[in-house]
Amino acid sequence: MNLKTPKVGISEIAVSIPKWFISVEKIAEKSQLPLEYVNGGLGLIQARIPYNTSLEQLIIKALKKINHKDVDRFFIATESDYDISKAEIGIKTIKNLNITVVPFQLKFACLSGVQALLLACEYAIAHDKPAVVIAADRSVYEDKKAEVTQGSGVVAMRIEQNPKLLTLDFKNVGQYSKDINDFRVPISTAPFPQVNGPLTKPAFIRCIIKAVNDYKTKNQECSSIVKTADHIVMHTPFPKMIVWASAALWHYEKYKSGLELLKECLTNPQSFIKFKEILDRTRKALDFQTFFKQKVKSGLRYNPYIGNCYTVSVFISLISTLEQAKANQNICIIGYGGGSGSLALMGKSVNSNFQSDLIHQIKNGNELTSQQYQKWRTDTVKKIRNQL
């Protein structure tokens, strides 16, 4: 009797982003922010805006690109659904597909897309049936510095045994959570999040390092993610955050230091200034620069042209990485969600010929005027608050 667990993972992955975008320089100008802050400081160029479209419409566009007709289990990850009880986005998606299955909708800030991926793997193994994971979000901010990071998009994935793109080790997942109010969206301010800016960076970095440490504890053959992984993909709120997080992870694995200072930052965010000095020195190290170029940078090709689409952002980076990965390479996926929690898992690329249509969507976008963008913001806020 062969009790070996079959391989499971992603066979198809498709993305749909809004056709409309606004240059972050226009947002910066409106908000009186220096251009070097948004371009160099954050690493952003455009923000995709769901102007004259909806997440449900983007979901259907993404689903049309993958095989889903034989699927009756849909896992939906989003933090853009503001009904406290009804799974609004999930139910509308199922309705648009003209089927009556129950959608499994998850919520854990930006982390729920990775949670959905793990649940889909477990379902595919337990039932020997395919599942679909949908991550769908749009972000909108009131804070002027955060507004430039806005974005929107949808990713749909077919999860099954003997996958064609990426196998996933869903059993030995690194995880870490801590009750932190770095990011939340209370009803009183929806759709605008309450973001504790000084707390977000240390919370993000410490959480992912702790999750990676848990992964290494559960996988004794992996003493270093930096060395074991051929590619590292992270949730990407903005590209510069991944530069900092990569430097912190590289520094920790090399010197086994930094976590105590990060812990101090959670109660005294001003301490991050000290930690930032460590990151700045690390970023100048030639060994780190080589690591970043070879193992992280491949995942940051598209994010600057889309913005932060919450649950979707980590998969935008994964798509970019899969397009450049060779067969049988280890791809570490690290998710993060404010509030907070992180999951770290390892995948292995199946082939080296994957190509998405994302570059085509980006090149064929239409730019919004400042007036159109402002109308979208006003209408979006009004619509959501009327639904609360």
Give me the pLDDT at residue 37, please: 85
Contact by Cβ (8 Å): 8, 124: yes
Give me the pLDDT at residue 4, please: 74
Give me the pLDDT at residue 2, please: 46
CA distance 326 to 350: 8
3-state helix, strand, coil in the chain (%, to 5): 45, 20, 35
Which amino acid appears at position 25 of this protein? E
Q: Report strand pairing: 341-349 vs 366-367.
A: unpaired
Tens digit of each residue's pLDDT (9 = 90 or more) over 47-106: 999 999 999 999 999 999 999 999 999 999 999 998 889 999 999 999 999 999 999 999
Residue whose tokens read 């559960």: 218
Question: Per the structure block, which two tokens stand in for 368?
Answer: 């919004």
Give me the pLDDT at residue 1, please: 35
CA distance 121 to 93: 21
Residue 160 makes CB contacts below 8 A (sequence gap 6+) with 8, 11, 124, 129, 130, 131
Task: Please compute the mean of the pLDDT values over residues 216-238 and round it to a whole number.
Answer: 97
**CA angle, residues 186, 187, 193, in degrees to nearest 5:** 45
Task: Give the chain's domains with CATH numbers.
Answer: 8-387 (3.40.47.10)
Q: 370-387 and 24-31 helices cross at what angle (nearest 10)?
A: 80
Residue 100 makes CB contacts below 8 A (sequence gap 6+) with 94
